[in-house]
Amino acid sequence: MIPKQGLSDLAADVRDINYGGSIKELVFNPETGDFEACTRGTSHGSGEIVTEMTEGGFAAEMAADSPSIRVILDAQEIETLKDGQDVVEGRAYEWEGENVVHIRTKPLKHSFGKERKAYFVKNDTSIPEDAKYVVIVDGSKAPVCRRLKDGNSETLHCELIPSREELYSRNKGILEVDILKEKRVLIVGLGSFGSQIAVELAKAGVGSFALMDFDRVELHNLARHIATVNDIGRLKTDVVEDAVKGKNPYASVDKFPIDLNDNIVLLTKEVRKADIVVCATDNNRSRFALSKVLKDEGKTGIFGRAITRAEGGDVFRYRPGGPCYSCLIGKGFSNEEEISDLQSARREGRIPAYVSQEDAEAMVQVGLSSDILPICNLMVKLVLVELSKGKDSGISSLEEELPYDYYIWANRRDRHYSNWKPFSEAGQGPTILKWYGVRIERNPDCPLCGETINLDSGEGMIEGLEGIEPEL
């Protein structure tokens, strides 16, 4: 028996080790009494997969033949089968640690569960011999799921994923799901901003997503990202897809694990297909590149960012024909970038090479997740307003309430906002925890959207600008 402290130490070791992008699991070997690390998705023999952390150490998955196992089916898939073929092949996934079996007609690309043969049939007489799970769908009653083992049949408890109408019933009168399900949103950057925004839009009922980010989840991301410890090492596009599908199983998701700066042709293609674009990247180079594509393709884009340590942030909305992101920066508004991780900050020169490792680590102090949520929420609101524009819905009133191109938010009266008034004494002056809208004029000499396009000078404009607050 491994002592509690031994388990804790082992857990820490597994979390801290860099496995080069592969996901590791702990498996308990009953023959040796030891926990062993192995690659996720591989065969574990007779070992039990450790899936949860508890105060006492670990909890292993329940036995596969447990009588409490539940089956989750897709109501929409069931409807399409009622008048279809007598036998439809599917797949069953025995999900580790959940004691739940997911049965689908289409494979789950993001599943790590054990895959079994499953069939949808109309009656007992047409069950294939190699079936492990059988779902009987006769059209007149609720579907019945059976698990076959050694010639015996066991009836399992079934739960249906709600229909689209049921799933979004509480949005009625506020959001028009029938409108949103036909909309496609491109989200560029899936860090703390992009991941939160994707989930909120999925919950709102947006039907199609394009997700673009080359990065993988690292330990330092977890403080603000939707990812969990089990996602360390996974591509952010895969993690966010899982989250979107978890909230909206009917959503279509296309993933692009690429750097947009190296794939402008593909970026342009996806911008063209999208109804709106969310720019949630963490550097101005990519924001300028995306701003240029939005202008060329005549598409609306929502830009959002946090200032270092999430002391505050801003949101910018580009509309075709209006001021672009370069116009905004050229007006002298704050250009201070948030430093969210040491490696990229070194690479991009935001932390100079001469700065010691100790001092550099002190500079990488990101803000709280609660600091960025107000910024994410406004971005989501603006996206929904744009997607619902011209339609009679509960959110349509926000078209008049949110007329500005640029919005400023402060979380704390720190460095950048030290001259702002305390909340209790603000009067007519700017204070924290309040949105301020600012009208931005298009710059005729803008290097990105002006008469003469010059991307190089567009990047050069941002260098050396001091943080200048607008007159409010």
The answer to whether the CB of 275 falls within 8 A of the CB of 184 is yes
pLDDT band at 50 (very low <50, low <70, confident <90, very high): very low
Q: What is the pLDDT of residue 31?
A: 60
- Taken in order 294, 298, 301, 303, is the CA torsion positive or negative? positive
Tens of pLDDT, residue by residue over 240-297, are 999 998 888 788 899 999 999 899 999 999 999 999 999 999 888 889 899 999 999 9
Confidence at residue 169, expressed as pLDDT on a 0 to 100 scale: 66
* 466-471: average pLDDT: 35
% residues pLDDT > 70 (the chain):
62
Lowest mean pLDDT among 200-209, 248-257, 390-399, 408-417: 390-399
| Statement: residue 110 has pLDDT above 60 | no
Structure token digits, residue 2: 């491994």
Between the alpha carbon of residue 307 and those of residues 259, 279, 407, 414, the distances in Å are 22, 15, 13, 11
Of the candidate ranges 34-38, 246-250, 315-319, the one whose mean pLDDT is the lowest: 34-38
| Three-class SS state of 256 | strand
Q: What is the mean pLDDT of the chain?
A: 75
Answer CATH for 70-161 from 1.10.287, 2.170.150, 3.40.140, 3.30.70? 3.40.140
Confidence band of 326 (pLDDT split at 50, 70, 90): confident
| DSSP bridge pairs for 73 | 160
Residue 120 has pLDDT above 80, yes or no: yes
Give the chain's radius of gyration (CA, Å).
26
Q: Which residue has better confidence, 212 or 392?
A: 212
Range 415-442 average pLDDT: 87
At 63, is the pLDDT very low, low, confident or very high (cuts 50, 70, 90)? Answer: very low
304 φ, ψ (degrees, to nearest 5): -145, 150
Give the mean model confidence (pLDDT) for residues 183-188: 97
Average pLDDT over residues 18-27: 46
Of 249-258, 299-308, 358-367, 394-403, minimum mean pLDDT range = 358-367
Look at residue 465 in the predicted model and tell me its pLDDT: 27
User: If you average pLDDT over each of 66-75, 85-94, 183-192, 360-369, which comes out highest?
Assistant: 183-192
- The pLDDT value recorded for residue 421 is 87
Q: Which of 76-80, 145-149, 155-159 has the lowest mean pLDDT?
A: 76-80
Count other Cβ atoms within 10 Å, centred on residue 60: 17
84 contacts: CB under 8 Å, gap ≥ 6: none
Locate tokens 């069931």: which residue?
78
- The answer to which of 150-164, 395-409, 414-428 has the lowest mean pLDDT is 150-164
Mean pLDDT of all residues in 374-392: 91
70-161 against 171-460: fold identical: no
Confidence at residue 320, expressed as pLDDT on a 0 to 100 scale? 94
What is the pLDDT averaged over residues 212-240?
90
Q: What is the pLDDT of residue 308?
A: 73
Q: Tell me the whole-structure pTM to 2 decimals.
A: 0.65
* Range from 49-58, 281-290, 393-402, 446-455 carrying the lowest mean pLDDT: 49-58
Q: What is the rounded CA–CA span in Å between residue 77 and residue 106? A: 10
pLDDT band at 415 (very low <50, low <70, confident <90, very high): confident
pLDDT, position 198: 97
Tokens 């899982």, residue located: 242
271 against 57, higher pLDDT: 271
Amino acid 59: pLDDT? 30
The pLDDT assigned to 459 comes to: 38
CATH 3.40.50.720 fits 171-460, yes or no: yes
H-type helices in 181-324, by residue range? 192-204, 236-247, 264-273, 284-297
More confident position, 54 or 14: 14
* Confidence tier at 446 by pLDDT (50, 70, 90): confident
Q: Which residue has the higher pLDDT, 362 or 192?
A: 192
Compare 454 and 449 and report the one with higher pLDDT: 449
Q: What is the pLDDT of residue 296?
A: 93
Q: What is the pLDDT of residue 226?
A: 93
User: Is the predicted pLDDT of residue 151 greater than 80, yes or no?
Assistant: no
Q: Which two tokens stand for residue 168?
A: 């979004």
Check pLDDT > 70 for residue 28: no
Domain positions in the chain are 13-60, 70-161, 171-460
